[in-house]
Each structure stands twice: as C-alpha cells, then as structure tokens.
C-alpha cells in the first residue's frame, strides 16, 4: 500500500485527489495539508511513502519545503504537482532530489502511474516538459547556465538512443517498444550507461543529457 500525503492550499483540488487516489487498490491517503507548517507537523507523527506537493503555498515556497523535508525525512518521495512548466522549476527539482514533476493538467492515469513509479524509486518527469528545456539554447539548472559540453564518456549509438529516450521521459517499457528490443536489453543498456557516466539515479541521467546536448526540442516523438 502506497501511503500518500497531499500538500496543496486548494481544498477542492485536495478533495479531488483524495477521491481519485483513494479509489486505487494500492493507495491510501494518510493526511492532507494546506500549508508548509501543517505538512511539517504531520510528518512528526506520520510516515508517508509519497508526498504530492504544490509549489505555491501560502506560508512557504514548495521547493524550499521539499528541501526541508528531504533533510529531515530523506526516505520519503516528493512528487511535485503544479501548474508551472518553466524550465527553471524543473531544473531545481533535479537538484534538490525530488522524485518527480507533473503538471496539474496531466491525465489521471499519468498521475497515478507517476505515483507508482516514484514509489519504486524511479524519477518521473512529465513528457513534454523535457522538450521545453531542450529548446533552450543554454541550460539553466538551479540558477547556473550550463552550455552544451562534449560528452565525457564514450557511449555506443544504441546507448545514446536509450539515454535520449530516458531523458525525454519514456519508461523502460516504452523505450523497449520504441526501439524494438526487449526490456531486459534496455535494463542492461541503462546499467552500462550509468556505469560509464558514474551516475546512480535517473535524474542524473537527465541532467547529463541536457548538459551535453544529447537531446533537442525536435527529438521528442509521441508514442502511438
């Protein structure tokens, strides 16, 4: 059972999320909070697996709250659910260690799947957001401009394709379907890529792909 804390100051949205997620057989809403202070108080006695967090809170910025939470409760997974699609927000999420970033206009199934994915330890970024970042001539992550740099590791053509699709938000199964190979092969490629790049998390792969110009705004393709 995935235990969920919802942090958003809009009661209608919280209620709607609680109804949607509470109807899932593998999810349980353990608490709701309208402010950062309420969320921190709840975490003193409750241990959710996933926190669904908005950026705009009345008493504190959601990004700052996420940093506070992760310092004190490092095992919890934070999934941002927000209206902000600006690249700088996504860049900061990559740096603070949040588990994912989804827009409020996402389909119900996309949100549900994202919650399950972050619980499994995956990094989730709504598809399309990466396109917005890739279109920028320079990459702005956490206030720093990162120009595309030559890759620091030698990847095969297939490994580069796998890395590009992962960075664009495709799941491992979708990457396998897109490239016409087995998911086991994708897992092997991903492990080899991480070893070559010295990375341990999907978010680090995304940052690497952005920093080294491995994806552009024209590479994204919707799956049929």
Predicted confidence (pLDDT) per residue in 180-190, tens digit: 999 999 999 99
Q: Domain segments of the chain: what residues? A: 2-126, 139-211
pTM of the predicted model as reported, rounded to 2 decimal places? 0.71
Report the topology of domain 139-211: Arc Repressor Mutant, subunit A (1.10.10)
**Of 125, 138, 129, 127, which Cα lies nearest the Cα of 211?**
138
pLDDT value at 220 more than 50: no
The C-alpha atoms of residue 91 and residue 206 are separated, in whole angstroms, by 10
Predicted confidence (pLDDT) per residue in 38-48, tens digit: 999 999 999 99
Provide the CATH number for the domain formed by 2-126 in this structure.
3.40.50.2300
């Amino acid at each position: 059972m995935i235990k969920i804390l919802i942090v958003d100051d809009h009661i209608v949205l919280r209620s709607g999320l609680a109804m949607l997620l509470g109807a899932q057989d593998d999810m349980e809403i353990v608490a709701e909070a309208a402010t950062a202070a309420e969320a921190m108080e709840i975490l003193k006695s409750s241990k959710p697996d996933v926190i669904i967090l908005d950026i705009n809170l009345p008493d504190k910025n959601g990004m700052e709250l996420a940093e506070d939470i992760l310092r004190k409760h490092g095992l919890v997974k934070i999934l941002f659910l927000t209206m902000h699609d600006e690249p700088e927000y996504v860049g900061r999420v990559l740096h603070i260690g949040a588990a994912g970033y989804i827009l409020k206009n996402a389909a119900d199934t996309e949100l549900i799947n994202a919650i399950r994915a972050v619980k499994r330890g995956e990094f989730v970024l709504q598809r399309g957001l990466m396109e917005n970042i890739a279109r920028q001539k320079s990459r702005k992550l956490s206030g720093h401009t990162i120009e595309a740099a030559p890759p620091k590791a030698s990847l095969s053509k297939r490994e580069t394709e796998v890395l590009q699709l992962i960075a664009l938000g495709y799941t491992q199964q979708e990457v396998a379907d897109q490239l016409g190979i087995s998911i086991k092969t994708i897992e092997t490629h991903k492990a080899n890529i991480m070893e070559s790049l010295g990375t341990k998390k999907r978010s680090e792969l995304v940052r690497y792909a952005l920093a080294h110009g491995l994806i552009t705004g024209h590479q994204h393709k919707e799956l049929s």
